[in-house]
Amino acid sequence: MNGAASAGRVILVVEDDVDLAREVADTLSDYGMRPIVATTWDAALAELAAGKPDLVLLDQRLGAVDTVPLLPRLRALTAAPVLFLTGNRAEADRIVALEIGADDFLLKPTSGRELVARIRAHLRRAGGGPEAATPAEWRLNVGERRLTRPDGSEVPLTAAEFDLVAVLAEHAGRALDRDELTQRVLGRPWRPDDRALDNLVLHVRQKLGPGCERTIATVRNRGYVFTAFPKG
């Protein structure tokens, strides 16, 4: 795998195990990245306020602090990909984190090679895999998991948001019900009081921006349908 895209990129490593943090930092350095280590939540926020890392590697547990509920605070400071590193195998926590803005989860222990591969995959913004062109030069690259506007700017989608767009676009013109979408995007059944999918659609619409209000249309009493990106 070509590491050029990751060379020199700044990675904020938020980990309270000093030995593990040092090991991760050394591994990233070996692959040409520039790690910055923070061992507490407050230190992580200070680092984010002081600079703009290209990616955040975040331990789910910093002492007694569970960082998943705090993710919106971090997201307010950075649009960089956030990869959780955790020993917690509870699926519910991973789903919640993905729904509120996490980009990936890595279960401890993980090898240095897998860690670097995951980081590179999120940093990489060019090449790899055929792109599916949509009308008006919007481009949905499923292989690289990125969506770009006609002006070349990238829409900063989380993993769950991208999956939603990809699934809907795959079935463009066909209404998909909430249960199917929830199963495919969030990996669990839909319930009548479940607003997670609706909130996800709302966030995607906001990120797509003006002129895209009908790109993902609501089908009353059923679900959603992908129509098309706007022309021009």
The model's pLDDT over 144-177, given as tens digits with 9 standing for 90+, comes to 888 988 888 899 999 999 999 989 988 888 889 9
Mean pLDDT of the chain: 83
DSSP assignment string, 35-98: EEEE-SHHHHHHHHHH---SEEEEESEETTEESSTTHHHHHTT--S-EEEEES---HHHHHHHH
The residue with greater pLDDT, 45 or 68, is 45
Which has more confidence, 44 or 70? 44
Q: Residue 132: pLDDT above 50?
A: no
Per-residue confidence (pLDDT) for residue 103, from 0 to 100 = 83
